[in-house]
Amino acid sequence: MKKVIMVLALAASAGITLPAAALAQEQTQAAAKPAQNVDIESDEMEIIDADKRAIFRGNVIARRTSETIKTPEMVVDYVEVKQPDGTTKSEVDTMDCKGPVTITTDTQTITGDHAIFHMRKDELIVTGNAKVVQGKTVLNGPQLVADLKTKRTVMKGGRVKGSFVPK
């Protein structure tokens, strides 16, 4: 099967966007809408139900509204969460993107060698030549850590560089 398309209803996936400060508007808009599906397309997919894991390999493209992630491999770990009515629902815990990784939204592009989304913590970590481009503004560093709840972004891990261009 050359391409596998799987639609995952990820109620917790509102955090698939990127660094905090620039994403405030996108986060607010996403929070105002009902949970949206994430469409994942790849050359191959493996589900290890006993481990609550899905592995997508080869030309992985994950899309949700205006956000897109492109990576050679994505490992999605999920957990069962008990609902108020007593039923359980699968929710994504982490999305581990093995690089190179490109994450795009309407306003930004982030690239790096590796990215991991801790969905239930609303945290994004990009390592290995992390780069954020928003318009003509460019930030570079070894590691980017974004807390999507507090909208705090830290570029760290060594020498960091920014070229800030006003709108």
Q: Per DSSP, what are the bridge partners of residue 161? A: 140
Write down the pLDDT at residue 35.
57
Write down the pLDDT at residue 5.
31
Element housing 67 (H / E): strand 67-82
- Neighbouring C-beta atoms of residue 25, cutoff 10 Å: 10
Query: What residue ranges define each of the domains in the chain, with the CATH number in brackets?
Result: 4-163 (2.60.450.10)
Write down the pLDDT at residue 76.
94
Write down the pLDDT at residue 28.
43
HEC readout, 89-133: EEEEEEEEEEEEEEEECCCCEEEEEEEEEEHHHCEEEEEEEEEEE
Element housing 23 (H / E): helix 20-32
- Neighbouring C-beta atoms of residue 27, cutoff 10 Å: 19
- β 44-48/37-42 pair status: unpaired
Write down the pLDDT at residue 46.
97
The C-alpha atoms of residue 129 and residue 88 are separated, in whole angstroms, by 39
- Neighbouring C-beta atoms of residue 153, cutoff 10 Å: 19
Write down the pLDDT at residue 1.
37
Write down the pLDDT at residue 149.
86
CB within 8 Å of 30: residues ≥ 6 apart: 14, 17, 36, 65
Write down the pLDDT at residue 34.
52
Write down the pLDDT at residue 36.
64
Q: Per DSSP, what are the bridge partners of residue 111? A: 102, 131
Q: Which residues of the chain are modeled with pLDDT < 50? A: 1-33
| pTM over 0.85, yes/no | no
Write down the pLDDT at residue 30.
46
Write down the pLDDT at residue 37.
74
